[in-house]
Structure 1
Amino acid sequence: MSSAATPARAPHPRRATVGRWIGIGIFHSLYRGRAHHADRVPRTGPVVLVANHAAFLDGPFVFSLAPRPVNFLVKQEAFTGFFGWLIRTVGQIPIDRTVGDRTALATAAAVLERGGAVGIFPEGNRGTGDVEQVNQGAAWIALRTGATIVPVAVSGTRVPGSSADAWPRPGARLDVVFGEPFELAVPTDAPGRIRLRMASDQLRDALASHVRRSRVENGPSTHVH
């Protein structure tokens, strides 16, 4: 992925702040949403939240229960109709997953460069949530901006035996577990592509390990086979 990026403007911080408060109301009333170890997320400075992805509600759930406003990278196909208007209004960033979307990555980098927080599902698509592989976008953004990374494990959002688009029943328990923050540590003298691959591997290992630990510590999960 090229280090060049199309100039972009970050969404206004107030958008994600307002959206977060709306989401808190939804996930604390319609569901039994719980955030674990939210104190691990730095309250200031650039932060990238990287989360596993198994269901539709993962994004809105992490966005709402994170302890600070977050601008998530969301697939561009979601930006249609009322839902598309809503997520754009609350500061989410559309990304074309079929290419190395430099405009989306530059917008995310702009959020981080002003000291904000960005959310990414590095697996790209909804699957088992085991984090067997990741795309390189999250590592690229973190390397470019020097942002701290916080791994995030989500459970309860995937309905057993149903598709990834199914919503849990009202009152269902949903958990988001924030992991220990870390910064990517890769040799600065390594060639760009090798450095990016090493950083992506490090990110994948950290997130996968956190997801496994959270499933042990917090009981039943959304593990999908």
Structure 2
Amino acid sequence: MSQPELVEIKETQYKDPRPKEHFDRFHERTRTRQPDFMYEVVRILMTLIGWVFFRVSHTHPERVPAVGPVILAPNHFSFLDHFFLGVALRRKVHFMAKSQLFKPPMQFVYTHGGVFPVRRGFADEDAFITATTVLERGNTMAMYAEGGRSRTGEPAKKAKRGIGRLALLSGAPVVPVAIVGSSHVRNWKRGQFPKVRVFYGEPFAFERVEAPTRDQEQATADAIFAEVRALYEVATKPGSAT
């Protein structure tokens, strides 16, 4: 059977003209408060959508530590990957999202649901302070090693160093995650709903480094993404149960 055709993904506007101070309130909320009822509302809604339309299945979600800080490191194809990743987990997952999404009325949903902004195209130190704060209080962070969505239908070839920096600054366990099938989620516009499968790998960790160098961050990011890619390759083999 031939592979379904990819629906074109439009290029994203990466620089947000609003000043960083505009986003201080969103960071402050995430640093000081847990996701509230909105997270559960979205979880229930997306669970129904995932099961009914995309027949989402999850393999080994128990590999995600039940307590303590943890970084989830999935590949990234679709704007729905956040939800595919988190609906099978009892833990509430915090996400970075591009700052362009933080506009009324959805900014209320995002910030009350544990999502905080990152100003893409800038060196956004505030986003890393928020992410490390989430981990320091023993919560769960999700971060894409690729930085943005892959537009090829396959995981990107190279990782961005941000996830390496977060892993070294926090020393938190990292769980690689392979999301298979979400590259074709946009085909819903044609009435096509691909089956999506999510595979969770074994956690591993790096020794904590207070001031990692750029080379250390990149090497760590590459090591994390190598695990993600390896899990994805196994997960896409015919008959794989990983």
Moved more, 137-146 or 6-15: 6-15
Q: How many residues align?
A: 209
Q: Output the CA distance in 2 between the equivalents of 1:106 and 1:190.
A: 13
Q: Match of 1:29?
A: 52
* In 2: Cα distance, 1:194 partner to 1:79 partner: 32
AA partner of residue 221 (structure 2): S
Q: CA shift at 1:185, angstroms?
A: 5.6
Shift of 1:64: 2.2
**CA contact under 8 A between 2:95 and 2:115: conserved in structure 1?**
yes
1-side partners of 2:77 and 2:50: how far apart? 18
Letter in 2 for 1:110: T
Equivalent residue, structure 2, for 1:42 = 65
List alignment gaps of at least 5 residues for structure 2.
1-23
What is the aligned partner in structure 2 of residue 99 from structure 1? Answer: 122
Query: Paired residue for 1:59, among 72, 78, 82?
Result: 82
Match of 2:181 in 1: 156
Q: Which runs of 5+ in 1 are unaligned?
A: 1-5, 220-225
Distance 1:193 1:11, change over 3 A: same
* SS of match in other structure, 1:93: strand
Q: Kindly state the Cα deviation for residue 207 of structure 1 after the two structures are TM-superposed.
A: 1.4
Is it true that 1:145 corresponds to 2:167 in the alignment?
Answer: no
Say yes or no: does 1:212 pair with 2:233: yes
Matched, 1:202 2:202: no
Identity %: 29
Distance in 2, matches of 1:110 and 1:217, equals: 40
Contact 1:16 1:71 in 2 (8 A): no
Secondary structure (helix, strand or coil) at the match of 1:44 reads coil
| SS of 2:92 mapped into structure 1 | coil
- CA RMSD in angstroms comes to 2.8
Q: Which has the larger radius of gyration?
A: 2
Separation in 2, partners of 1:37, 1:116: 19
Shift of 1:49: 0.5
TM-score (norm 2): 0.75
